[in-house]
Amino acid sequence: MFTSLSERIGHIFSKLTAHGRLTDLEVKQAMREIRIALLEADVNFTVVKDFVARVSEKASGEEILKTLTGSQQVVKIVHEELIALMGGANSKLTVADAPPSVYMLCGLQGAGKTTMCGKLAHMLKKQGKKVMTAACDIYRPAAIKQLEIVTGKAQAEFFERGAQSPVKTAEEALKYARDHMIDALIIDTAGRLHINDELMSELEQIKARVKPAEILLTVDAMTGQDAVTVAEEFNRRLDITGVILTKLDSDTRGGAALSIRAVTGKPIKFTGTGEKLGDMEPFYPDRMASRILGMGDVLTLIEKAQEEISDEEAAKLEKKFRENSFTLEDYLKQLEQMKKMGNLSELIGMLPGANKIKNLDLEDSERQMKTAKAIIQSMTRYERLYPDVIKASRRKRIAEGSGATIQDVNRILKQFEDAKLMMKRMSNKHSGFGNKLF
């Protein structure tokens, strides 16, 4: 997401920073190019107009135009305005005064609403809450079964009453949740291919009966401006409390993420970033703005690393590097943990200056990671612990066993030695995050 927009804005700023002091004409030209870049990213026209006007007003001051760091200050202004545009700060999930907290998910058919119910249940379960989902979509074929499957994967409780009235099912689910001391009840409601009065009336009735702590609208980020139109209409009828943007890992231009808050006044609370149950993240406007401007998102990268490796494991790993006892088994664990954190393109996108990386074949990099795992798994445990014993005959056997070439085996062994040397140097200087990634 935002790859094209990030590259465009990065190019605009590179031209600005090539100058010392800025002229009013240079600022106006930059704003014109930013306007075009945002429109091409499918950002709402009115939102773009207001955004450019605010930035232009702040960037045209005498104190900016007369300083040698004017270009840096313009970047700072754009960064601040992007954060404000997307809501300013992370909006946390509301918790009811008395359990259960009811979270009602709504949206059009195909937006990923049922899957998001499972992801939200998974997230709340990780927080130690007792969670239940309720199936109130009786119209889409297999919707109830799909919710049951994703709920099972999240290890949460599941409630359904077949084809009876969704409003009645929601009421019964709430009563069951109260009686069984459920902390969070997630209601999966019906969607349609388009907004209609029948759908909205049913959702309004469910809202009136269960009085949800949150009404979360699930919208597909790939639909661009249509997502904003849908959000506007759902907000008008239901007064939603927040938005979940799905498919942010896709090749979407990002217009919905930059427009929804400004148009509806309601925050984006979560984003879906993949197909796995854990591929849902809280939405941080400041982090997203940094990604757009190529400043990276190191905080999210750190959080992902901390989810996969504990401080105790990191300390053990650091000790291995210091004592030069890091083995290929440890290397394999690191590759697997890195894979759990997300796909390579997503991780690289969080690094500062990622938008300046050119000609990087991510598919080839992913393929090499898979090859590395296959090669290491084809070794005996003794070989993983003592890689120095892997001479020509062993390399040939490992290559044949993993479906790789001897050159691949040589490359992986060289990468292992390089990684070991690099991390030993890092562990001598730092501790913590540096030991969680290589």
Q: Could you give the domains of the chain?
A: 3-85 (1.20.120.140), 101-293 (3.40.50.300), 299-435 (1.10.260.30)
How many residues appear in the chain?
438
Beta strand pairing status for 280-282 and 268-272?
A: antiparallel
CA-closest candidate to residue 138, choices 175, 164, 105? 164
Q: Which of the four pLDDT bands, split at 50, 70 and 90, describes residue 430?
A: very low
Residue 55 has pLDDT above 70, yes or no: yes
CB 112 within 8 A of CB 273: no
Task: Name the β-bridge partners of 104.
Answer: 187, 215
* Range name among 41-45, 53-57, 354-358, 401-405 with the lowest pLDDT average: 354-358
Beta-carbon-side half-sphere exposure of residue 153 (alpha carbons within 13 Å): 17
Percent of the chain with pLDDT over 90: 28
Is pLDDT at 370 greater than 90 in this prediction? no
Lowest mean pLDDT among 115-124, 138-147, 159-168, 319-328: 319-328
Given pLDDT bands bounded at 50, 70 and 90, which one contains residue 338? low
From CA 289, how far away is CA 297, in angstroms rounded? 9
Mean pLDDT of the 187-211 span:
88
Q: What is the pTM of this model?
A: 0.66
Q: Is the predicted pLDDT of residue 133 greater than 90, yes or no? A: yes
Which letter, b or e, does each residue of 354-367 get, where b requires 16 or more Cβ atoms within 10 Å of its Cβ? Answer: bbeeeeeeeeeeee
In the sheet that holds 157-159, the strands lie side by side as 157-159, 131-136, 184-189, 101-106, 214-220, 242-246, 268-272, 280-282
42-56, 138-152, 216-230 — most confident range: 138-152
Q: Does the pLDDT value for residue 175 go beyond 90?
A: yes
Q: What are phi and psi of 96, to 5 degrees?
A: -65, 155
Work out the pLDDT band at 431, boundaries 50, 70, 90.
very low
How confident is residue 436, by pLDDT bands cut at 50, 70 and 90?
A: very low
CB contact at 8 A, 188 and 103? no
Query: What pLDDT, on the 0 to 100 scale, is given for residue 283?
Result: 87
54 Cβ contact partners less than 8 Å away, ≥ 6 residues apart? 81
Q: How far apart are the first and last CA of the chain?
A: 25
- Mean per-residue pLDDT of the chain: 80
Residue 333, classed as helix, strand or coil, is: helix
Decide which of 60 and 266 is more confident: 266
- The share of the chain scoring above pLDDT 70, in percent, equals 76
Mean local confidence (pLDDT), 36-51: 86
What percent of the chain is helix, strand and coil (3-state, nearest 5)? 60, 10, 30
Judge whether residue 144 has pLDDT over 70. yes
Alpha-carbon distance of 28 to 430, in angstroms, equals 44
pLDDT of residue 219: 87
Alpha carbon distance 190, 200 (integer Å): 10
169 vs 332, higher pLDDT: 169
**Angle in degrees, 0-180, between the axes of helices 143-153 and 113-126, rounded to the nearest 10:** 20
- When pLDDT is averaged across residues 354-359 and rounded to a whole number, the result is 48
pLDDT at 395: 93
Helices (H), 351-431: 362-377, 381-385, 392-402, 406-429
Band of residue 68 on the pLDDT scale cut at 50, 70, 90:
very low
Neighbouring C-alpha atoms within 13 Å toward the C-beta of 73: 19
- Residue 84: CB atoms within 10 Å: 16
Q: How confident is the model at residue 123, as a pLDDT? A: 93
Of 156-160, 194-198, 321-325, 418-422, the range with the highest mean pLDDT is: 156-160
Q: Please state, in angstroms and rounded to a whole number, the distance separating the CA atoms of residues 192 and 157.
A: 26
Q: 159, 168, 204, 162: which is closest to 186 by C-alpha?
A: 159
Alpha-carbon radius of gyration of the chain: 25
The pLDDT confidence band at residue 160, using thresholds 50, 70 and 90, is: very high
Q: What DSSP string describes 156-209? A: -EEE--TTS-HHHHHHHHHHHHHHTT-SEEEEEE---SS--HHHHHHHHHHHHH
In this prediction, residue 196 carries a pLDDT of 82
Residue 322 in this model has a pLDDT that exceeds 60: yes
Model pLDDT, residue 435: 43
197 CB-side CA count, 13 A: 0
> What is the DSSP secondary-structure string of 57-105?
HHHT-HHHHTSTTHHHHHHHHHHHHHHHHTTSS--PPP--SSSPEEEEE
pLDDT of residue 331: 78
